[in-house]
Amino acid sequence: MNKNFLIRIVIFPLLLFFGCNSSIEEKDNNTKIYQESSEEEQLDSVFHYVRGHRYLELNNLSAAESRFKKVIELEPKFARGWLGLANSNYLANQIDEANNNNNKALNLKPDLEEALYLQGLIYKQEGKCSKFLKDKKPKEFYSYDPLILMLGLCNGLEGQNQKALEIFSYKKIKSIELNIILAEYEFYLGNFSESIKYINKYIEENENPKGYILKGKILVASDKKDEAISNFKEAMDLSKDPKIPLFYVEASSLYKELDNN
């Protein structure tokens, strides 16, 4: 039974006896109950948020999505809840949903750097780096290394090589993503030997499917078909169980394309 209803049942007869003083007490009690209820919901949202990120780490995307949906149900104005859902969508290869939910995060918190980074990933994937770069601040205004690197890569893809190199040489950057970003940049420039050096360093430090996908692409461009097939297969295996559709779909498509030719 509703707590407020119970309080009204108990307090109403007392109001006839105590008058105004009891009205004040009832208001205080109702306020206290509301505050306690609000605090419980906030604690619930924290629990679901932490669990959501844990599921993301384990690549359990459906469970992560479910947790983040619960977070925004409890706290619809919590930007990082929307970002968590967007990250789940992105890895599930639900790009439109990822973009929509990430925009909701940015509408609530325009300076949320992790959301700006995801925006960069999405725009780069869609070939819209110029749209991503529009109105972005200089690198010195940001503290999230992957975002700074994305600014560098997109500048390079848009032909702004001097600006890209300036960002890549920024001394504050310590992200493990540096090598894969440099590998992609050198690949774009056609410097395949340099690109392979960077991607090998990346894979040594952080073995994951996206590293093998890029390495496979570099090997295809270097006319090393058999090695490329092996790397696409490795990316498929790494993203198969638990399944990460974003990487599995791309790796399997590239694998089949090469294997059939």
Instruction: Dump pLDDT digits (tens) for 80-103.
Output: 999 999 999 999 999 999 999 999
- Residue tagged 């940049």 (tokens): 185
Mean pLDDT of the chain: 86
CA trace torsion 207, 241, 125, 148 (10° rounding): -40
Is 234's pLDDT higher than 80? Answer: yes
In whole angstroms, what separates CA 180 from the centre of its chain?
Answer: 17
pTM, two decimals, is 0.82
| Average pLDDT of the segment spanning 62-70 | 96
Give the pLDDT of residue 10: 30
Question: SS3 of 138, please?
Answer: coil
Give the pLDDT of residue 174: 86
Listing DSSP states for 171-203 in one string gives TT---TTHHHHHHHHHHHHT-HHHHHHHHHHHH
Question: SS3 of 94, please?
Answer: coil
CB neighbours of residue 135 within 10 Å: 6
Give the pLDDT of residue 260: 85
Share of the chain above pLDDT 70, in %: 84
* Alpha carbons 50 and 42: distance in angstroms, whole number: 12
* Alpha carbons 211 and 180: distance in angstroms, whole number: 7
* Alpha carbons 177 and 179: distance in angstroms, whole number: 6
Nearest to 189 by CA among 223, 211, 164, 213: 164
